[in-house]
């Protein structure tokens, strides 16, 4: 078997619990270590996660909100550095994380496409050639491309982001919840693009809550629960495990509220 494209070994990330957004110098010096505002201890949104993704795979990541799915994607993308373990990625990555391609609000759509495109290694010539295609794909109304991205609707941002990222010829694509935002027509277009890309033996990692999307594209599923990987199988079983857990949880909650009701 060929070398896996993505290889994660014992991945773990820790965040400080109760971390105040901004630690100020005063707290650091005056309170010293005794009253450390971060003494809440460490919290591991993700730990001991190991898996391999082969070339041409489409992997769907499922799990509840806040269980570390997006964190995992960020680790693969290399925009977070793991505190434990390592992730090896063989090949360039086209990331679409948290519904955005890294556009900055102050710049116009055109500038953003140029900036992000060249950050991804597109040459000016390539950008020029592809530019119209990107804009057409994103279905931006005329004139919008020269307006700051700040004025875009969230759908427009995602469309432009997807249009740009899908033009990249990178072998690996990371997609986080993007398909949830576009309207029906755009979603269909995305589906076609993704299918075309998968046919070209590209690798994709997808985070989504939409079972239909997942079942349609993915041949593998990773189910993440409370920061650890509990299932690494085909997508149907992963979804089944996820659904079973959700069902159990709902029932437990029902029972609990029922019990409270009786006691009161």
CB nearer to other proteins: pick between 103 and 162: 103
Distances (CA, A) of 228 to 19, 176, 237: 22, 19, 17
Residue 259: other Cβ atoms inside 10 A: 10
Least Å distance, CB 170 to other proteins, is 11
Encoded one letter per residue, x for contact with other proteins by CB under 8 A and - for no contact, window 59-98 reads ---------------x--xxxxx-x---------x-xxxx
68 vs 224: CA distance, rounded Å: 7
Q: Are 5 and 55 in contact (CB under 8 A)?
A: yes
Site size with other proteins, rule: CB under 8 A: 36
Stretch that binds other proteins, among 22-30, 49-57, 133-141, 248-256 (CB under 8 A): 22-30
252 vs 208: CA distance, rounded Å: 25
Candidates 18, 50, 118, 219: give the one binding other proteins (CB under 8 A). 118
CB nearer to other proteins: pick between 28 and 248: 28
CB nearer to other proteins: pick between 23 and 252: 23
Least Å distance, CB 104 to other proteins, is 5
Candidates 54, 107, 230, 240: give the one binding other proteins (CB under 8 A). 107
Residue 237, both tokens: 């079983």
The SS3 assignment for 255 reads helix
101 vs 161: CA distance, rounded Å: 5
Least Å distance, CB 263 to other proteins, is 42
> Which of 160, 153, 173, 91 has its CA nearest to residue 130?
160
Phi, psi dihedrals of residue 231, rounded to the nearest 5°: -145, 135
Stretch that binds other proteins, among 31-39, 61-69, 100-108, 226-234 (CB under 8 A): 100-108
Residue 45, both tokens: 């949104």
> Which of 200, 196, 11, 195 has its CA nearest to residue 89?
11
Least Å distance, CB 168 to other proteins, is 11
CB nearer to other proteins: pick between 21 and 141: 21
Encoded one letter per residue, x for contact with other proteins by CB under 8 A and - for no contact, window 152-171 reads --------------------
Least Å distance, CB 150 to other proteins, is 12
Strand 93-96 and strand 172-176: the pairing is parallel
Q: Which residues bind other proteins (CB under 8 A)?
A: 13, 15, 21-26, 28, 74, 77-81, 83, 93, 95-98, 100-107, 111, 114-116, 118-120
């Amino acid at each position: 078997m060929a070398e896996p494209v993505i290889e994660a070994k014992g991945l773990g990330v820790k965040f400080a619990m109760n971390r105040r957004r901004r630690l100020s110098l005063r707290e650091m010096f005056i309170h010293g270590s005794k009253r450390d505002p971060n003494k809440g201890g460490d919290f591991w949104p993700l730990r001991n996660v190991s898996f391999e993704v082969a070339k041409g795979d489409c992997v769907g990541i499922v799990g509840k909100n806040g269980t570390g799915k997006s964190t995992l994607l960020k680790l693969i993308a290399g925009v977070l550095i793991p505190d434990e373990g390592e992730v090896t990625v063989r090949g360039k990555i086209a990331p679409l994380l948290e519904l955005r391609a890294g556009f900055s609000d102050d710049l116009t759509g055109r500038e953003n496409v140029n900036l992000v495109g060249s950050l991804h290694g597109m040459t000016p010539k390539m950008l020029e050639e592809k530019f119209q295609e990107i804009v057409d794909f994103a279905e931006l109304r005329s004139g919008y491309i020269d307006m700051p991205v700040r004025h875009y609707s969230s759908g427009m941002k995602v469309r432009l982001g997807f249009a740009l990222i899908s033009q990249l010829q990178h072998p690996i694509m990371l997609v986080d919840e993007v398909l949830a935002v576009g309207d029906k027509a755009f979603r269909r277009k995305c589906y076609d693009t993704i299918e075309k890309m998968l046919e070209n033996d590209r690798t994709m990692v997808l985070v989504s809550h939409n079972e239909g999307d997942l079942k349609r594209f993915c041949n593998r599923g990773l189910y993440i629960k409370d920061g650890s990987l509990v299932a690494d199988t085909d997508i149907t079983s992963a979804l089944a495990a996820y659904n079973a857990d959700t069902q159990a949880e709902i029932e437990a909650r029902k029972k609990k509220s029922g019990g409270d009701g009786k006691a009161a």
